[in-house]
Amino acid sequence: MKPVLIIRTGRAPDPIRARHGDFPHWFRLGAQLSPERIRVVDVERGETLPSPNDVAGALITGSAAMVTERAPWSERTAGWIRDAMDLELPMFGVCYGHQLMAHALGGRVDYLPGGREIGTVTLNVLDAAKGDAVAGALPATFRAHATHEQSVLELPKGTTVLVSSDRDPNHLVRYGKNAMSAQFHPEFNADVMRAYIHRKQNDMKREGFDPHHAFRQVAPTPLARRLFRQFSRHHGLAAG
């Protein structure tokens, strides 16, 4: 059986990682993957990606890096994404992974107008999601955790937007029958979201945001996690 690839584009801050774990662990739990089937490749640290032919699917993590920096490791990963799309490999990108997929396929990424989006946000499910194999069962609105400064400002051609927020119109997009990406973090739980707000509170204050309000608004996001699991199950990646 081919492995499920987790493309690690960064790591959680040290204090968060020490207490709550890191992206590969959160992805495994969120997407309901078997530990024995996972292969983690740390592209930020120069590890080489396998051929897309040799994996069953790929999940792309978040990162503290910025897609607009065009780091060599990031651009190499963008090329891999294009190759994987040619093979119709199941792929799901999150946050940085979302932006990198859009960039790789011809979209434009830059700073989100109005500043960062952070906290448990309300997302709006668009008509285009009706009948979608992964997002079709979502209600009209649901909540998800988010923390990002950059976003996808222009989509690649042929992309379908499924979910938006008041701040970001491109929170969940589909690139084809097997590839999707989310600006929100379906793998986060409430404790991880609170930890990120606590870490970013001084930046938030400088930018005119109220971290205490954001902290109080943090809530469980079961539908966001269910979406991640539905993608994994639909493409035969989930355990069991």
Q: Is the confidence at residue 65, as pLDDT, over 90? A: yes
Average pLDDT over residues 150-161: 97
Average pLDDT over residues 51-58: 98
Average pLDDT over residues 189-205: 97
**pTM of the prediction?**
0.97
153-159-161 Cα angle (round to 5):
70
> Mind listing the pLDDT tens digit for each residue in 87-104?
999 999 999 999 999 999
β-bridge pairing 117-125 and 160-164 = antiparallel
Instruction: State the pLDDT confidence band at 184, using cuts at 50, 70 and 90.
Output: very high
Domains of the chain: 4-234 (3.40.50.880)
Average pLDDT over residues 57-62: 98
Specify the pLDDT at position 44.
98
Specify the pLDDT at position 42.
98
Helix H or strand E encompassing 231:
helix 222-234
Instruction: State the pLDDT confidence band at 240, using cuts at 50, 70 and 90.
Output: confident
Specify the pLDDT at position 77.
98
Average pLDDT over residues 211-224: 98
Percent of the chain with pLDDT over 70: 100
Q: Evaluate whether 150 touches 67 at the Cβ level (below 8 Å).
A: yes
Q: Evaluate whether 149 touches 191 at the Cβ level (below 8 Å).
A: no
Tokens representing 67? Answer: 């897609």
> Mind listing the pLDDT tens digit for each residue in 106-147?
999 999 999 999 999 999 999 999 999 999 999 999 999 999
Average pLDDT over residues 50-69: 98
Q: Evaluate whether 55 touches 80 at the Cβ level (below 8 Å).
A: no
The whole-chain average pLDDT of the chain stands at 97
> Mind listing the pLDDT tens digit for each residue in 169-180?
999 999 999 999
